[in-house]
């Protein structure tokens, strides 16, 4: 594996902005004039105007703009502004003035950190021709400083007078921007970073055409041609494998270069300063500086109305079922954490390690993610973040057209008119007061055991699983718990209920105050839907049925249900595992979006008013029609009379 041709054909930058800073008299301006004119200036201005180096000065063929600065206190604001616009910083000291070297760690480097300037820093010792040969070597001096300030990319000494290593100064600065070390390599541990390993592993798998776990000579050659537009000679391939085998025997086997060997080669390139080789490979396969696939390779927006959602197609689900089977190494019908980590080892990170996905789906008794749980997590991710869902599909090996993996649902308003929902993923908002049993209901959906301990929910939580409904395809139910304190914030958005297929209202059936708060929430949500045109079917769930109802519970629930035109509450006891088919009832109600829609008194009055207005308009229309007909009849009568006369 060797770099040839243009290594940065897909760098994607049109310019690199390098800002030169340092103490007064350290040689900043002379350095800039020297690179621009290839000669030492007789008279140097105190601060040089912006200087542009042409694209062809270095192999990367990206122009450089060099910004000179003044260290005078009067120009502090300008210096700060320039540093914050920089792609890289060249920080100078004078080789003949040790005090300016000390100032790097006592002032300049801490100051750049204070200003939150997070770009590569190239430390440059100017006036090398004046350096005292008795001084300690640059490596000895800079090693402890570089340990403390990891932003220092490299250190170099130069002489503008003698034209020693001046071009190298700006080459290293440009290279630090175009081929940064930080995303790829951990200087402290001297090893590839996790995200770099994940990207290179995916590239290795894509290039391993026969899927035998090694790159054969032919596959290595194809890889070389793809990345560097030049084939490898047989002797070069043999040489590459020999280098790997000597340092790491497991890096090569009888089938070719293994993943271990592939990663070792890239670590070797980076250690030897050939970062452009690894970056060329990464960019050829579509990776950006964050080691994620570029936006132009992944549609990041799915155009849809507020009441439309994104779902996976059967084609995508079949792909995911195949992936599940492939990584279920022990064939126990579940993915253990190690198997799941392996599955996502070609993605920048595991997407379900944090909320809202962590612990949001069904697991077996050993903590393995079941197939239902696996597909439920994908349904949840596609619902909440379709762009992330697409990206992760691609990372784990989906090569089909993105359009064939996703479908956008019909608008909910259309579903209501047609009196049926075609959605395969049902999103259910779960409302209720504190300690009503909302979390227990979510846990029941994913088969988690009941806990007596009450833990208040402080942020939105999700649970997702598939539900069997007789006569229809199995549906994924996504339950989104809204904390009581979060209802106001949710309803402050006019479109907050647009994506909701059904809302349920959970109350503690043994507590009258819980029931009253629940009915208040029901009225709030129903009013919000009526006012904004996003009415949703609603159900009431009477939790903790094992505790027995409060005294007037039946009378109160009957009255509210009748007044608002919805079904009577569904009693459940999560503790006794008496779910009363509640999840099936939720999905069934969502499949009939024209039913179970609560009507508030204000909403009912508005409807009556509209009916009266429409009836009045109808009477006016009928009266006008009668008048027109009467006028026409009179005209006919008058015409006949005139004729007979």
3-state SS of 329-362 is CCCCCEECHHHHHHHCCCCCCCCCCCCCCCCCEC
Q: Provide mean pLDDT across the span 427-456.
A: 94
Please, what is the Cα angle at 393 between 303 and 228, to 5 degrees? 105
pLDDT tops 70 at residue 146: yes
Chain center to CA of 105? 37
Q: State residue 607's pLDDT score.
A: 66
Query: Each residue of 373-432: pLDDT tens digit?
Result: 999 999 999 999 999 999 999 999 998 888 899 999 999 999 999 999 999 999 999 999
Query: Is the separation of the CB atoms in 347 and 353 below 8 Å?
Result: no
What pLDDT sits at residue 44?
83
Q: Nearest CA to 263 among 339, 347, 184, 209? A: 184
CA atoms within 13 A on the CB side of 125: 22
Phi-psi label, residue 67: left if phi above 0, alpha if psi -120 to 50, beta otherwise: beta
CA separation for the pair 187, 273 (Å, rounded): 12
Q: Residue 186 pLDDT more than 50?
A: yes
First to last CA, the chain: 113
> In angstroms, rounded to a whole number, what is the distance separating the alpha carbons of residues 164 and 160?
7
What would the two tokens of residue 35 be?
């690179």
Which alpha helices (DSSP H) does 411-466 contain, by range? 412-418, 438-445
Around 644, how many Cα atoms within 13 Å sit in the side-chain half-sphere? Answer: 6
User: What are the pLDDT digits (tens) for 545-560?
Assistant: 999 899 998 899 999 9
Helix (H, G, I), strand (E, B) or coil at 277: helix
Q: What is the largest CA-CA distance in the chain?
A: 137
Residue 446 to residue 430: CA distance in whole angstroms: 15
Strands 570-571 and 185-186 turn out to be unpaired
The β-bridge relationship of strands 152-157 and 121-126 is parallel
Percentage of the chain modeled with pLDDT above 90: 79
What's the mean pLDDT when you consider all of the chain?
91
pLDDT, position 617: 60
135 pLDDT above the threshold of 80: no
Average pLDDT over every residue of 521-526: 96
Tell me whether the omega of the peptide bond preceding residue 356 falls within 30 degrees of 0, making it cis: yes
Q: How far apart are CA 357 and CA 384, in angstroms?
A: 10
Structure tokens at 291: 């080691």
In angstroms, the CA 393 to CA 372 distance is 17
| pLDDT score for 470 | 87
Give pLDDT, residue 438.
97
Which tokens in the block code for residue 61? 């063929």
Residue 105's CB: how many other CB atoms inside 10 A? 14
The confidence band for 9, taking pLDDT boundaries of 50, 70 and 90, is very low
Q: How many CB atoms lie within 10 A of CB 353?
A: 11
pTM for the model = 0.84
Answer yes or no: are the C-beta atoms of 442 and 390 closer than 8 Å. no
Neighbours of 548 (CB within 10 A): 9
Q: Would the pLDDT of 636 be above 90?
A: no
Where is average pLDDT lowest: 15-29, 39-53, 108-122, 628-642?
628-642
Q: How much is the pLDDT for 4?
A: 44
For residue 535, give the 3-state DSSP assignment.
coil
With beta carbons less than 8 A apart as the criterion, state whether 376 and 465 touch: yes
Side by side, the strands of the sheet bearing 64-68 are 51-53, 64-68, 16-22, 88-94, 121-126, 152-157
> Average pLDDT for residues 463-473, to the nearest whole number?
91
pLDDT higher than 60, residue 620: no
Chain segment 600-616, per-residue pLDDT in tens: 988 777 766 555 556 66
Three-class secondary structure of residue 317 per DSSP: helix
């Amino acid at each position: 594996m060797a770099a040839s041709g243009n290594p940065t054909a897909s760098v994607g930058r049109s310019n690199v902005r390098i800002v030169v800073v340092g103490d007064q008299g350290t040689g900043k301006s002379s350095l800039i004039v020297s690179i621009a004119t290839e000669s030492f200036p007789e008279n140097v201005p105190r601060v040089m105007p912006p200087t542009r180096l042409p694209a062809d000065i270095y192999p990367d063929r990206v122009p450089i703009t060099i910004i000179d600065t003044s260290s005078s206190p009067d120009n502090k604001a300008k210096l700060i502004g320039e540093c914050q616009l920089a792609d890289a910083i060249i920080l100078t000291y004078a080789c003949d003035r040790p005090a300016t070297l000390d100032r790097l760690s006592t002032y300049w480097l801490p100051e750049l950190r204070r200003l939150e300037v997070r770009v590569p820093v190239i430390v440059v010792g100017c006036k090398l021709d004046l350096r005292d040969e008795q001084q300690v070597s640059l490596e000895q001096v800079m090693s402890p400083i570089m340990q403390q300030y990891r932003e220092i990319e490299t250190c170099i000494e130069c002489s503008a007078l003698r034209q020693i290593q001046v071009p190298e100064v700006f080459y290293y600065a440009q290279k630090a921007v175009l081929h940064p070390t930080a995303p790829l390599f951990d200087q402290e541990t001297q090893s590839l970073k996790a995200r770099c390993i994940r990207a290179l592993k995916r590239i290795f798998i894509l290039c391993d055409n026969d899927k035998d776990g090694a790159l054969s000579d032919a596959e290595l050659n194809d890889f070389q041609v793809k990345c560097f537009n030049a084939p490898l000679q047989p002797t070069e391939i043999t040489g590459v494998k020999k280098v790997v085998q000597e340092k790491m025997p497991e890096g090569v086997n009888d089938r070719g270069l293994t993943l271990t060997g592939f990663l070792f080669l890239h670590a070797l390139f980076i250690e030897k300063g050939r970062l452009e080789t690894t970056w060329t490979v990464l960019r050829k396969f579509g990776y950006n500086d964050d080691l994620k696939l570029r936006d132009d390779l992944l549609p990041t927006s799915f155009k849809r109305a507020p009441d439309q959602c994104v779902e996976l197609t059967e084609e995508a689900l079949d792909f995911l079922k195949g992936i599940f089977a492939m990584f279920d190494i022990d064939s126990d019908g579940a993915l253990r954490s190690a198997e799941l980590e392996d599955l996502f080892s070609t993605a920048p990170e595991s997407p379900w390690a944090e909320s809202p996905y962590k612990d949001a789906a069904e697991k077996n008794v050993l903590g393995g993610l079941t197939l239902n749980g696996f597909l439920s997590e994908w349904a949840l991710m596609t619902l909440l973040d379709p762009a992330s869902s697409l990206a992760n599909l691609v990372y784990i090996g989906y090569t089909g057209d993105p359009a064939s993996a996703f479908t956008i649902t019909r608008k909910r308003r259309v579903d209501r008119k047609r009196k049926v929902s075609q959605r395969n993923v049902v999103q259910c908002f779960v409302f209720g007061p504190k300690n009503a049993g909302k979390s227990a209901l979510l846990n029941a959906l994913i088969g988690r055991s009941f806990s007596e301990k009450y833990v208040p929910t402080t942020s939105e939580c999700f649970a997702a699983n598939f539900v069997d409904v007789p006569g229809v395809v199995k549906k994924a139910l996504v339950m989104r718990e809204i904390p009581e304190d979060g209802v106001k914030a949710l309803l402050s958005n006019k479109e907050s209920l647009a994506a909701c297929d059904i809302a349920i209202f959970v109350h503690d059936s043994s507590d009258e105050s819980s029931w009253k708060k629940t009915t208040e929430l029901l009225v709030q949500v129903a009013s919000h839907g009526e006012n904004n045109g996003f009415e949703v079917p609603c159900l009431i769930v009477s939790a903790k049925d094992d505790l027995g109802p409060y005294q007037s519970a039946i009378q109160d629930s009957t009255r509210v249900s009748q007044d608002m035109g919805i079904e009577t509450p569904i009693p459940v006891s999560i503790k006794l595992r008496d779910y009363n088919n509640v999840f099936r009832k939720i999905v069934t109600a969502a499949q009939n979006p024209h039913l179970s829609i609560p009507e508030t008194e204000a909403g009912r009055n508005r409807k009556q008013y509209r009916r009266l207005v429409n009836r009045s308009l109808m009477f006016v229309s009928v009266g006008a029609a009668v008048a027109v007909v009467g006028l026409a009849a009179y005209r006919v009568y008058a015409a006949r009379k005139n004729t007979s006369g």
